[in-house]
Amino acid sequence: GDVQQGKQKAALCFSCHGEQGRAILPQYPNLSGQSAKYLSIALKGYKNGTRLDPVMAPMAKILSEDDIANISAYFATFQ
């Protein structure tokens, strides 16, 4: 994925997951320290409904496959 484009698109994630993937509250997962592959699996799950979350589902539904790859690449830069 493209990290620069991912950072733009990920703006909607920052309010809960933090700009560097460190969640603002302990009940939200940190996205830092995860692989781009796992992050995209999770986002695709929310998008296709195999992974359930009332907050994440509507967020993921507006993302394209490229958005998902770019956002995942962006957060995976924080290990």
Q: How many amino acids of this chain bind a copy of itself (CB under 8 A)?
A: 18
Q: Does 38 bind a copy of itself (CB under 8 A)?
A: yes
Considering only 19, 51, 57, 59, the residue that binds a copy of itself (CB under 8 A) is 51
Considering only 4, 8, 20, 35, the residue that binds a copy of itself (CB under 8 A) is 35
Q: Does 26 bind a copy of itself (CB under 8 A)?
A: yes
3-state secondary structure the chain: CCHHHHHHHCHHHHHHHCCCCCCCCCCCCCCCCCCHHHHHHHHHHHHHCCCCCCCHHHHHHCCCHHHHHHHHHHHCCCC
**What does the binding site for a copy of itself look like in residue numbers (CB under 8 A)?**
23, 26-30, 32-38, 41-42, 50-52
